[in-house]
Structure 1
């Protein structure tokens, strides 16, 4: 407890130092810069501007509220990172979810690491740190990699070193940007997975990508089913077919054991929703219960658990 109090006092002391016009730190060579850079400082939230280079564009409201509740109870455990712009003026480098959540619950200050960097360094730091630490969707990660290539001129080899990922992994993400924007949106919204996208990117014509994408969503094709459909499509192209009719992967009909057939209706009727049951003749299997909203989930939970 004593260590925590001492750490907080130190943060407040450094904060006061930064608000002193006679100690305006603009570079690492300035007086007292070594006391601030790399240390945790309590900064006023109002003095921090959102980083325009932030690669994340989607923030889940429910997840943000959960984080806000956690911060209200436990405080900000992991400090954000900012760069100094001017006197008592900062720009967010990483930690925007923590920043937003702290504002939601009305906090006035937030613990932060301060860095002094130019715009290009700030962009690189924001992209690299967010790729490493944030739960970005595959398209956001791909866009971040592309920006590192376009705006920082990082080669894939250098990028591999900076983000700690294999070059092949980076290449797989970048290839997703060759997909039609509708499919990219589908990946971001969770209608299809990155695995589906990696298969679809092997189809050159975007109209054919869309045609197969619609089949994936409509027929709930697995990644393996999609890979088979893409392979069939490529074989049709090689054989001179225009490829206008996208083949769908044929699924083997599932043979339900008799005890499942006899009881499936009872489950669906009792729960008033679609229930899918798969089982082997030996009796091993799984039950999938569909729901379309939070309210319906609560209703099903009450039916099943009695709570």
Structure 2
């Protein structure tokens, strides 16, 4: 507890230093820069503007409220990162969910690491730090890689070094951007996996891609089934699902799937064997999403 109090007091002291016009730190060479840069500072939320380079575009409202509730009870455990623009003005680099959640519950300040970076460095930091997150969907990651290529002029080899991923992994993500936009959206919404997308991308014609995508959803095809379908098309130029992949669900299951999907907020997968026994699969996209589903299950008891 004593350590936490000392850390917070230090943050307040640094905040006071930043508000002193005679200590307007603009570069790492300025006086007192070493006391601020890389340290945790309590910053007023009103002094921080959003990052125009933020690669993340989807923020689930329910998970934001859950994070806000957690912050209300425990505080902001992991500081955000900002870059200094000018005197008493900052721009968010990473931590937008924590920033948004803190504003939701009316916090006035938030712990932050301060960095000094130009626009290009800020974009690269935001993209690289966001790629490391566990809750980004494959298309968000692919778009971040593409922006590093287009706007920072990084090669795949340089990206591999920056993000600690194999070049082949980066190439696989980038290839997903060749999928029809409807399929990309389906992947972002969790209707199909990255494995499905990697199989479909082996067909260049986007009309055929969509045909296969519809077959996947209609027949609940696995990644292996999808790969078989793609190989079949490349051999015969026809898209037809073998009978063994077609599983007709009982009427009572068909009637109930929609209710399940609406309740949990995800497309629910149901498989039924020939003896009448089945399995219900509920997908989740992040720790917050898992906890949200857990609460729904507990509430239904």
TM class by smaller structure: 0.7 to 0.9
Tell whether the 8 Å contact from 2:219 to 2:246 is kept in structure 1 after alignment: no
> Equivalent residue of 1:246, what SS?
coil
Question: Considering only CA atoms, is the larger Rg found in Structure 1 or Structure 2?
Answer: 1
For residue 208 of structure 1, what is the aligned residue in structure 2?
208
CA RMSD of aligned residues (A): 2.8
1:251 aligns with 2:244: yes
> Per the alignment, do residues 138 and 289 of structure 1 end up closer, same or farther by CA in structure 2, a change over 3 Å counting?
closer
- Give 1:169's aligned residue: 169
Distance 1:252 1:211, change over 3 A: closer
Contact 1:225 1:249 in 2 (8 A): no
1:54/1:213 CA distance change after superposition, 3 Å: same
Q: CA deviation at 1:306?
A: 8.1
Contact 1:226 1:249 (8 Å CA) reproduced: no
- Are residues 85 and 277 of structure 1, via their aligned partners in 2, closer, same or farther at CA, if it must alter by over 3 Å? closer
Q: Judge conservation of contact 1:81–1:112 (CA < 8 Å) in 2.
A: yes
Pair 1:64-2:64 in alignment: yes
Q: 1:287 aligns with which of 265, 279, 282?
A: 279
The verdict on how the C-alpha distance between 1:110 and 1:134 changes in structure 2, with shifts beyond 3 A counting, is farther
Which residue of structure 2 aligns with residue 121 of structure 1?
121
1:180-209 per-residue CA deviation (whole Å, 9 max, x = no partner) reads 111111111111111111011000111111
Give the structure-2-normalised TM-score: 0.85
Determine helix, strand or coil for the equivalent of 1:133: coil
Normalised by the size of structure 1, how large is the TM-score? 0.83
Listed as ranges, the matches of 1:181-192 within 5 Å are: 181-192=181-192
Q: Secondary structure at the match of 2:144?
A: helix
Matches within 5 A, 1:77-88: 77-88=77-88
The question of whether the paired residues in 1 share the 8 Å contact of 2:219 and 2:245 is answered with: no
Change (3 A) 1:301 1:148: closer
1:97 is matched with 97
Tell me by how many angstroms 1:218 deviates: 1.7
Distance in 1 between residues matched to 2:161 and 2:110, nearest whole Å: 31
Cα shift at 1:78: 0.2
What is the deviation of 1:82? 0.3
Displacement of 1:289: 8.0
1:250, distance to aligned residue in structure 2 (A) = 3.8
Alpha-carbon separation, structure 2, partners of 1:306 and 1:210: 37
SS in 1 for 2:207: helix
Q: How far, CA to CA, are the matches of 1:253 and 1:48 in structure 2?
A: 54
**Gaps spanning 5+ residues in structure 2: where?**
261-269, 283-292
CA offsets, 1:191-234, max 9 Å, x none?
A: 11111110110001111111111111122111111100000010
Q: Secondary structure at the match of 1:41?
A: strand
**Greater length-normalized contact order (CA 8 Å, ≥ 6 residues apart):** 2
5+ unaligned residues in a row in structure 1: which ranges? 237-242, 255-263, 291-296
SS at match of 2:112: strand
For the 8 Å contact 1:273–1:289, the answer to whether it is kept is no
Q: 1:93 aligns to what SS in structure 2? A: strand
Deviation per residue, 1:67-117 (Å, 9 max, x gap): 000000000000000000011100000000000000000000000000000
Do the aligned partners of residues 200 and 62 (structure 1) sit closer, same or farther apart at CA in structure 2, a change above 3 Å counting?
same
Give the distance between the partners of 2:219 and 2:256, measured in 1 at CA: 19
